[in-house]
């Protein structure tokens, strides 16, 4: 069954010696997003949109075991990351 996973990819420089990408998944409306335990330090902040979309798909796969069929991203105005919607074909 196909369903959407939405969230935010954030460029974090506050808690780590090395800057990193952290992925947050939206849960139910009104609930705080869930931060995934993994993060990525190899992709630079200046990565292309295609590279960022691919990274989000990889991070979701590590967490869910399902490959996203499509990842749409939107840059966040502050330049600290992206919001995303990923279409997943895993169990709902």
**Which of the four pLDDT bands, split at 50, 70 and 90, describes residue 1?**
low
Residue 49's domain comprises 3-77
Q: Is there a domain that residue 91 lies in?
A: no
The first and second tokens of residue 12, run together, are 């974090």
Bigger pLDDT: 17 or 72? 72
Burial class from Cβ neighbours inside 10 Å (0-12, 13-18, 19+) for residue 9 reads buried
Please report whether residue 90 resides in a domain: no
Q: What is the pLDDT of residue 91?
A: 58
The pLDDT assigned to 60 comes to 92
Tell me how far apart the alpha carbons of residues 71 and 19 are, in angstroms, rounded to a whole number: 23
Percent of residues in the chain assigned helix, strand, coil, to nearest 5: 15, 40, 40
Residue 92: pLDDT above 80? Answer: no
How much is the pTM? 0.86
Q: Please, which residues bridge with residue 1 across strands? A: none
- Note whether residue 57 is domain-resident: yes
């Amino acid at each position: 069954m196909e369903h959407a996973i939405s969230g935010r990819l954030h460029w974090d420089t506050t808690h780590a010696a090395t800057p990193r990408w952290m992925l947050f998944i939206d849960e139910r409306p009104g609930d705080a997003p869930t931060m995934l335990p993994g993060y990525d330090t190899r992709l630079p902040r200046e990565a292309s949109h295609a590279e960022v979309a691919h990274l989000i798909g990889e991070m979701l796969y590590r967490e869910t075991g399902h490959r996203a069929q499509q990842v749409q991203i939107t840059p966040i105005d502050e330049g600290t990351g992206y919001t995303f919607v990923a279409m997943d074909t895993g169990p709902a």
